[in-house]
Structure 1
């Protein structure tokens, strides 16, 4: 019985070592190259989209600057989650950031800010 207790870890290591074949463990599975397939004959390319936003928190105040370098209008909205349970979280309205435009969004809590983020929505022209 004592011999089995001493050799059990060695036996377990050997089983784990040989349980997975060497080829499967050391080489990734080969994949097929990506094919270029058109969507139903539509040859339009997707245009880049989305304003680049920078959010800063200073005490209980939140300020975000969003710059849209693309042609499509991006409707941005500031969301503020407050730390205290009694403090009301806020979701700002949609503010359109047109091409080459920078917009400023502000929000606040009564006390500490837990998190703040920006959501984006594409505006159909």
Structure 2
């Protein structure tokens, strides 16, 4: 069966309209929010926090923290010593400005049990 010449463009036009991307819809088209995202909420993650590397050599610790983001990251080095009589230490806070690397150091008298870095937004 042949379609008449006046009806032949209709299926082609319908296929083109149905394959339009979402951005091509008119502005007055209703926008349906997703079930888990509230209107006005930003789904993008907050980019914050310097990436830190720690190196332990005997009883000394060296940490290098590089901040690739815009917000200032106030970092601190925390050291837990292995011996019960050895005092655990926390370094003074150091501000890692954007595109800046800071160096933090600390030590125990004897062995080190654990080391970690804390991050805080500087206001």
TM-score after normalising by structure 2:
0.67
- The structure with the largest helix share of the pair is 1
Equivalent pairs, count: 90
TM-score after normalising by structure 1:
0.66
- Structure 1: gaps spanning 5 or more residues: 1-32
Runs of 4+ displaced beyond 6 Å? none
The 3-state SS of whatever aligns with 2:87 is coil
Counterpart of 1:115 in structure 2 is 114
Cα shift at 1:45: 5.7
Counterpart of 1:37 in structure 2 is 38
Please report the RMSD computed on the Cα atoms of aligned residues, expressed in angstroms.
2.0
Counterpart of 1:76 in structure 2 is 75
Q: Provide the C-alpha distance between the structure 1 equivalents of 2:35 and 2:100, rounded to a whole number of angstroms.
A: 37
- Structure 2: gaps spanning 5 or more residues: 1-33
Tell me which structure has the larger Cα radius of gyration. 2
Q: Provide the C-alpha distance between the structure 2 equivalents of 1:43 and 1:55, rounded to a whole number of angstroms.
A: 34
